[in-house]
Amino acid sequence: MSFVVTSSSPRANVTVQTPPCGVLVVETPPRESLVINTGAAGPQGATGPQGPAGPAGAQGINGAQGATGPQGSTGATGVQGPTGPQGPTGATGVQGPTGAQGATGAQGTTGAQGATGAQGTTGAQGAQGTTGAQGAQGAIGPQGATGAQGAQGAQGAVGPGVATGGTTGQVLVKNTATNYDTGWATPYPNLPAPVTTGSTIQTFTDAAGVIWVAKNGVNSGNWKQARDAIHARMYRGTAYTLPTGATAAPLDTVDYDAYGLWSAGSSGYVVPLAGIYSVDGRFQANNPASGNWVGLSFYKNSVAALGGTQMTMQTTWPNPTVAGTIKCVVNDTIQMAVNSSPALAAQAGIDAFYFAIHYLGTG
């Protein structure tokens, strides 16, 4: 490789050395500038031989303590050492338990009878023995004579007795929890006397609000609770042909109606009490033609009050029914109406053509 070296001073002493190792060394005077112009780089030369090893460097500082390594495996067991010398004798142990009793020896021969000894002193009194069992009951002795009559005792104080007053049928009752504080009272329900005159039904309301009814000639005029007494059932007992259109059921036989409230003339039931009534009825036609129809309903004072069923005849006999409740006031008239097209023959009978009514209460 070649170099051109130019100095900025004519006095410069420039030395250029190019040792074989390829290191350029240039020496210039102080405060002088050096310009090195190099030509174009030549091709890469072949690698030179390995230089000699440099001197060893200084000892570096010690590094930090490394982590403890894993436990190594246990080494093999060493050989058995020789037996040591005999130790001193230990202290004496505690006394062991007594051994089991030995077997009894054989019985010796009986010795000769000794001389009778002197009489000993009397021993102490023994303890009292237990009481013996109770003996059987002895027979009863004869009756003793009657004693003399005792003297008459003093007259006792007058007792409180029964409270004064009261009327027939009343009972004695406690007024308070105090002894002898009593008085007369009429027992519940305190009903009036039986009805023995007139021909209309009579009513009575007791202290608990329960309504009672009575009528001359019914149940001997005695009072009965209305819910137990006001019941009726009527039916058609003979053949009858219904006209076309609606008509009141002309029932001609009374099954039960103790107080006579059914009116055959109006074909209606006249209610004796205000309240709620349960009603039900049934109609059965006798051999109707196919296509005919019939319906049932209930009227109150000639005004529809409860609708029922309407049935059209096919090949079987129709049997429309109606049931429900109606609220009434005294003397309302309840009727069962039958509406048919065309005129139909009614089947008579207690369970074929009927009307029933029952008083349920005030509501």
Residue 44 maps to a domain: no
Residue 168 maps to a domain: no
pLDDT reported for residue 142: 92
Residue 199 maps to a domain: no
Tell me which residue of 230, 225, 227, 229 sits closest to 205, measured CA to CA: 225
SS3 152: coil
Residue 30 maps to a domain: yes
Rounded-to-integer distance, Cα 270 and Cα 307, Å:
20
Which residues span the domain enclosing 357?
A: 230-361
Residue 125 maps to a domain: no
pLDDT reported for residue 127: 84
Handedness of CA 167, 172, 173, 174 (dihedral sign): positive
Q: What is the CATH number of the domain that holds 353?
A: 2.60.120.40
Residue 213 maps to a domain: no
SS3 8: coil
pLDDT reported for residue 307: 85
Residue 219 maps to a domain: no
Total domains present in the chain: 2
If phi > 0 it is left, if psi is from -120 to 50 it is alpha, else beta; for residue 31 that is left
* 12 CA to centre of own chain: 123
Residue 316 maps to a domain: yes
- pLDDT tens series, the chain, 363 aa: 444 445 454 544 555 555 554 445 455 555 555 555 555 666 777 877 877 877 776 776 766 776 776 776 776 776 777 777 877 877 776 777 877 787 777 776 777 787 877 887 877 887 887 888 888 888 888 998 988 998 998 988 887 788 888 888 778 888 899 998 898 877 777 899 999 999 999 999 998 999 999 999 999 999 999 999 999 999 999 999 888 888 999 999 999 999 999 999 999 999 999 999 999 999 887 766 677 778 899 999 999 999 876 666 554 566 788 999 999 999 999 999 998 877 888 889 999 999 999 999 998
| DSSP structure string for 190-218 | -PPPPP-S-SS-EEEE-TTS-EEEEBTTB
